[in-house]
């Protein structure tokens, strides 16, 4: 339970939740709705744009789960007003989170994949970029084509809501942009989100967009602490406990010898074929993500297997890290019981107390439509079978395309 990666991830979710709630009470949702109304970015266009924005945000801040929280809290209600299909909109948010989780240099999965395969992060990110883009292009096209629908708000209600919105909330895009800028400069996720929260609070109080009680209040008579900051934390306590238990379970698998048994079995199955070895790597990463629903925990569990099998066939650490991270990041936002899907579902359920038009999309409804996740997982299986992008470890650890002689 004291695993550093798990505990840092939990705190990052709390901070992302606070950031999203502070932006929400300040009126960013209203501002986005106003912008969508005047720009005509409705239906599928809004869904496609949401995927691109979520992917950009997740790539900058490095937390797919945090991106899911923020975009479900902010873009989901705005999208429903703008005529987006609820299922496709939720799927676009999850797809964007998966994109960033896989590609972001500061993502926990990126760090874990590089560290466990004993290689550098810049090289890992550089070599996996082509996979991420190849999966993202068809995804954004399909989201744009099919993402429109009747939405959850009829035309009369949508017009009424649009009439009540103002552009003032768009001022809060400034702290949003600040978070992306700081993250791209290499700052830790906790640093970027903290400055984002501070900047948002300064703007909101300066322009009279919120009251102090909306941000944080203490009721001594009822012994209640509330407000946006508290709401950002409280909604994810149950998920935090689940994560700690899952990480504990994966640790038991490792110390119990299950990983060693799996490595030996896969080595015998692969024989001398590199393609079979990579398909075996893909399969074990896929299987562990089925049973370990938090992608970082699944990656930690699979990493020793990927390392040992990959080294036997002289696969370069970049290739091993990419096979490990791409499949893990993709599947973490697909399965109905996956952590990314559940945390998004929990966020959407929480919106029903704030908006009367929210349509709750269940995890079992959304999973077939998380297009980027599916495309990325399938692309990596194709790469394993055909050798697309395969790199071997050459002299002095340099990546080479031809397998070194025994």
Domain-located, residue 123 = yes
Residue of 324, 256, 284 lying closest to 118 (CA atoms): 324
pLDDT for residue 119:
84
Domain-located, residue 405 = no
Residue of 62, 120, 63 lying closest to 321 (CA atoms): 120
pLDDT for residue 170:
84
C-alpha triplet 141, 159, 46: angle, nearest 5°: 15
Range ranked top by mean pLDDT from 56-65, 105-114, 235-244, 346-355? 346-355
- Using an 8 Å Cβ cutoff, are 160 and 71 in contact? no
How far is residue 304 from each of residues 116, 258, 284, 285, 307, measured CA to CA in Å? 7, 11, 11, 11, 5
Confidence of residue 120 (pLDDT cuts 50, 70, 90): confident
Kind plus residue range of the DSSP H or E element containing 224: strand 224-226
Provide the residue range defining the domain that includes 372: 4-398
CA distance 399 to 316: 6
Asked if the model's pLDDT at residue 209 lies above 60, the reply is yes
Asked if the model's pLDDT at residue 152 lies above 70, the reply is no
CA distance 96 to 68: 8
Domain-located, residue 137 = yes
CA distance 401 to 23: 48
pTM for this structure? 0.76
Indicate the number of domains in the chain.
Answer: 1
pLDDT for residue 95:
97
12: left (phi over 0), alpha (psi -120 to 50) or beta: alpha
User: How many helices and strands in the chain, by DSSP H and E?
Assistant: 20, 4
The model's pLDDT over 61-92, given as tens digits with 9 standing for 90+, comes to: 667 887 888 788 878 888 888 888 999 999 99
What is the largest distance, in Å, between two alpha-carbon atoms of the chain?
76
Strands 217-219 and 399-400: unpaired
Asked if the model's pLDDT at residue 390 lies above 90, the reply is yes
How far is residue 202 from each of residues 22, 56, 64, 100, 211, measured CA to CA in Å? 11, 25, 26, 28, 12
Confidence of residue 153 (pLDDT cuts 50, 70, 90): low
Domain-located, residue 403 = no
Tokens of 55: 């992917």
Residue 303 C-alpha from the chain's centroid: 20
């Amino acid at each position: 339970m004291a695993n550093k990666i798990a505990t840092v991830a939990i705190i990052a979710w709390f901070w992302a939740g606070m950031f999203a709630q502070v932006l929400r009470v300040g009126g960013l949702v209203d501002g986005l709705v106003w912008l969508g109304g005047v720009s005509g970015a409705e239906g599928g266009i809004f869904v496609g744009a949401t995927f691109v924005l979520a992917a950009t945000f997740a790539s900058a801040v490095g937390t797919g789960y945090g991106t899911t929280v923020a975009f479900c809290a902010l873009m989901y209600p705005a999208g429903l007003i703008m005529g987006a299909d609820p299922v496709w909109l939720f799927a676009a948010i999850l797809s964007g989170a998966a994109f960033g989780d896989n590609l972001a240099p500061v993502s926990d999965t990126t760090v874990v994949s590089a560290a466990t395969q004993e290689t550098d992060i810049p090289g890992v990110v550089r070599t996996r970029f082509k996979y991420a883009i190849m999966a993202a292009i068809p995804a954004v096209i399909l989201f744009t084509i099919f993402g429109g629908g009747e939405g959850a708000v009829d035309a009369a209600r949508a017009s009424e809501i649009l009439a009540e919105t103002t552009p003032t909330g768009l001022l809060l895009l400034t702290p949003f942009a600040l978070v992306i800028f700081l993250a791209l400069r290499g700052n830790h996720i906790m640093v970027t989100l903290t400055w984002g929260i501070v900047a948002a609070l300064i703007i909101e109080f300066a322009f009279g967009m919120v009251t102090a009680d909306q941000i944080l209040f203490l009721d001594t008579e009822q012994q209640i602490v509330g407000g946006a900051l508290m709401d950002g934390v409280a909604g994810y306590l149950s998920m935090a406990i689940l994560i700690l238990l899952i990480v504990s379970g994966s640790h038991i698998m490792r110390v119990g010898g299950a990983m060693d048994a799996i490595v030996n079995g896969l080595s015998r199955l692969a024989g001398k074929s590199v393609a079979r070895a990579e398909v075996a790597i893909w399969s074990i990463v896929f299987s562990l993500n089925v049973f370990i629903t938090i992608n970082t925990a699944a990656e930690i569990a699979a990493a020793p297997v990927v390392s040992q099998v990959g080294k036997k066939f002289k696969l370069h650490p970049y290739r091993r890290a990419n096979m490990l991270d791409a499949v893990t990041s993709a599947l973490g936002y697909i399965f109905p019981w996956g952590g990314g899907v559940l945390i998004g579902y929990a966020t959407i359920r929480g919106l029903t107390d704030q908006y009367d038009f929210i349509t709750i999309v269940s995890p079992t409804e959304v999973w077939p439509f998380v297009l980027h996740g599916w495309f990325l997982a399938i692309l990596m299986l194709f790469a394993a079978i055909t050798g697309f992008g395969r790199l071997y470890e050459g002299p002095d650890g340099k990546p080479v395309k031809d397998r070194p002689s025994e």
